Structure 1
C-alpha cells in the first residue's frame, strides 16, 4: 500500500484534491471604464505588439473557466510581445466583483469594464466582431489589424496558443 501511495505522489497523481489556486498578480490590478474610444486607443497604442482581447463577465461560467488560460498566455508570451486585454461586461454595480475576480486570477495586464453595454454596441460589433456572445476573444497582429475572432473561428486553448505563437513569430 505504501509503495502505491508513494508512486502516486511521485507521479503527481492526487485523488480528491482541488488544483492549486491561481497565482496573484505581481502588482495591483486596475480596471478602467471602457468606451469604444478608450479601448480602441489602448489597442492602437500597442502597435508593434500582438494584442489578444477577451470579452467576459463574472456571471459567465465559460468565461470564468477560460480566463486562467488567458492569464497563462499573458505570462508565457508577454516578454515576446503579447499584450492581453480583458473587457468585463458585468453591470456597473458589479465593480467589486470584477476587481476581486481579476485579483484572484492574477490579471496583471490592462483590464476594462464596459458598463454601458448598449451605448456603443454598433462600434464594438463592427470593430471587434462582437455579436454579444461571451466569452469572445479577438486577436490583432503587430500591424494593428484584426486577424482572428472567436465568433468566426472557434479554436481550442491549444489552438489559441498556436495562433498567438504564429502571430508573435510573424513579426
Structure 2
C-alpha cells in the first residue's frame, strides 16, 4: 500500500467503519473445519435452526486485543446462553499452547474454544470477507447465514440482541456494509487525487460523494477535514470540502467539542473567513480543559489574530 494512503484509511478504520466484502453478507456459513475442540462440546453450525445463533470469533493467545475481548465474550455467552446463542473462539495455534492459555483463563473464558484444521477456516471466513486482523467475529443467524462481521467489541452485542428479538434486518445490514466498502474506495480515490494535486471536477465529484457518506459521523468528518487542511503530503487542499466536512462535524456534535471547533475554525481561516475563525477559536479555547490542548488552541488563535492585523 502506498504510504500516502495511510492517513485517510486510518481515519476511516478508526471511525467505526469496518471493511468487509459486502457481497458475502447473507451467504451460507462455511462448514467448521476443526482439528481440536479445546473447550465445550463440538458444534455443527450448518443445521438451520430457528432457535440457534452462532458467533465465530477468530483470535490468538498472543493477540492483545483478543485477550481484551475475552471477558466481554464470556459475558455475552452467559447473557444469551438460554437464548440459543453459542460463541466459538477459533485459533490456529498449537494444541498445548491453547490448552494452557484456556486453563489459565479459567472462568474468564466461559465459551467454546477450538483449533481449526490448517488455515481452512481462515480462508473460508477471514479472507473471503476481507478481514486482515484479529479479533474478528462472524455472526451466523438461525437460517445458517453470515449476517454480520466485525470487531467483537464494536456492535456485536446489538446484533445478537436484535437476532434474539427477531428485529434484525439483513437487507439493511447488507446495504450498510456496501456503503462502508464504497466509503473506503472513495477515500482512497479522493486522497490519491489530493496528494497528486488533481484540482478538477472529478476530484470535486468524488469528494462530494465521500462527504455524503461521512457527514453524519462527527469524528470521521472532522478528522478528514483536518487531514485535508494540514497533511504535508497534500498538494491540492480542497478547501470547499474541508470547510463542508468541518461544518458537518460541528453541527452533528452540537458545536461544543474543542477539537472539532478548532478544525472548523481552521477551515474558515484558510478560506479567508478570518473574523468567524477567530470567534470560533475563542469558543474552542473557552471549552478546553486540558492544558496542553489550550496551549495549541491559543497558538492558532494568535495566528488568526495576527493575520487579521496584517490584513488591515
TM bucket, shorter chain? 0.5 to 0.7
CA offset digits 1:118-137 (Å, max 9, x no partner):
x564333466x263410010
Q: Provide the residue aligned with 2:162 in structure 1.
A: 166
Residue 105 and residue 125 in structure 1: after superposition, are their counterparts in 2 closer, same or farther (change >3 A)? Answer: same
User: Whose radius of gyration is greater, 1 or 2?
Assistant: 2
In 2, the alpha carbon distance for the partners of 1:96 and 1:156 equals 24
In 2, the alpha carbon distance for the partners of 1:114 and 1:101 equals 21
Q: Which has the higher helix share?
A: 2
Q: Provide the residue aligned with 1:147 in structure 2.
A: 147
Q: Which has the higher strand share?
A: 1
Residue 131 and residue 114 in structure 1: after superposition, are their counterparts in 2 closer, same or farther (change >3 A)? Answer: same
Residue 121 and residue 62 in structure 1: after superposition, are their counterparts in 2 closer, same or farther (change >3 A)? Answer: closer
Alpha carbons 2:136, 2:152 under 8 Å: kept: no
Q: Provide the residue aligned with 1:11 in structure 2.
A: none
State how 1:66-81 maps to structure 2 within 5 Å. Answer: 66-81=69-84
In 1, the alpha carbon distance for the partners of 2:139 and 2:157 equals 12
Alpha carbons 1:92, 1:115 under 8 Å: kept: no
TM-score, reference length from structure 1? 0.62
Of 87, 95, 99, which aligns to 1:84? 87
Give the drift of 1:91.
3.6
Q: Provide the residue aligned with 1:65 in structure 2.
A: 68
In 2, the alpha carbon distance for the partners of 1:76 and 1:53 equals 17
Give the drift of 1:42.
2.0
Aligned: 1:47 with 2:19: no
Give the drift of 1:101.
4.5
In 1, the alpha carbon distance for the partners of 2:56 and 2:64 equals 18
Give the paired residue count: 130
Q: Which runs of 5+ in 1 are unaligned?
A: 1-34
Alpha carbons 2:92, 2:117 under 8 Å: kept: yes
Alpha carbons 1:58, 1:97 under 8 Å: kept: no
Give the drift of 1:83.
1.2
Alpha carbons 1:90, 1:115 under 8 Å: kept: no
Residue 110 and residue 42 in structure 1: after superposition, are their counterparts in 2 closer, same or farther (change >3 A)? Answer: farther
Q: Provide the residue aligned with 1:113 in structure 2.
A: 115
In 2, the alpha carbon distance for the partners of 1:145 and 1:45 equals 11
In 1, the alpha carbon distance for the partners of 2:56 and 2:130 equals 11
Alpha carbons 2:59, 2:89 under 8 Å: kept: yes
Give the drift of 1:85.
1.1
Q: Provide the residue aligned with 2:100 in structure 1.
A: 97
CA offset digits 1:96-150 (Å, max 9, x no partner):
334324535242x332112623x564333466x2634100101011111000001
Alpha carbons 1:36, 1:123 under 8 Å: kept: no
Higher relative contact order (CA 8 A, sep 6+): 1
Alpha carbons 1:50, 1:139 under 8 Å: kept: yes
In 1, the alpha carbon distance for the partners of 2:59 and 2:93 equals 8
TM-score, reference length from structure 2? 0.36
Residue 96 and residue 37 in structure 1: after superposition, are their counterparts in 2 closer, same or farther (change >3 A)? Answer: closer
